[in-house]
Amino acid sequence: MAINYTVRHVDRAEVRDFIESHHYSHSINGLKVAHCFGLYDGDRMVGAMLYGGLAMANAWKKYGNSEAEVLELRRLVLIDDTPRNSESFFIGHTLRWLRKNTEVKTIVSYADPNYGHSGVIYRATNFEHVGMTSPGRVIMHNGKKYHDKAIRAKYKGKLKPFAKELRQALAEGKAEYVKQLPKHIYVYNLRE
């Protein structure tokens, strides 16, 4: 089956609702976003992807000589009824766009086994598996998972309201830390 989709470089606002509806994280809050892409069947969005700075401070140093040389594929999601190979089609188009339109040299992405992901799509698109992260932990509160750094989230030097709420819930035993499996780390070199 031929894939007749188009890939467009779009604004964050254009992909926000799609990602928050279809991606397992249901959020793009707090992400450093540099480039957004939509996958379209005519005018209907069937996929979305975000690239941005690496989540962990100074992690770029493992992969490049400057922070500007390294991007992380932060979100990738397609609706379930897309044809086989749609993900690799989408990733391939975005990588070619980044190579042509930016100075980025390296793309990093993570596959999270806590959600059943091993990185099959990254291997299929020639990313190299370079190891595993350290095991992590999340905060479980009211049935939702929060990254453990959520309790330190600030705006203009003050803790955000949800950070205060999480801290209080932890102190009162209404929230708890839960250990997470290490994530698979994948790297794609755009330029040698």
Q: Is 16 in a helix, a strand, or coil?
A: helix
C-alpha dist (Å) from residue 123 to 2, 103, 152, 172, 177: 21, 23, 34, 44, 32
* Cα angle 129, 9, 36; round to 5: 55
Q: DSSP 3-state assignment of 114?
A: helix
Going by the DSSP 8-state scheme, the letter that residue 149 receives in this structure is G
Is 79 exposed, middle or buried, given 0-12, 13-18 or 19+ CB atoms closer than 10 A?
Answer: middle
Which pLDDT does position 2 carry in this prediction? 52
Model-wide pTM > 0.75: yes
What tokens appear for 111 in the block? 């596959």
pLDDT of residue 1: 44
* pLDDT at residue number 146: 82
Kindly report the length of the chain.
Answer: 192
pLDDT tens digits in sequence order for the chain, 192 residues long: 457 899 999 999 999 989 988 887 777 777 789 999 999 999 999 999 999 988 777 889 999 999 999 999 999 999 988 998 999 999 999 999 999 999 999 999 999 998 889 999 999 999 999 999 999 898 989 888 888 888 888 888 888 888 899 999 999 999 999 999 999 999 999 987
**CA 167 – CA 165 distance, rounded (Å):** 5
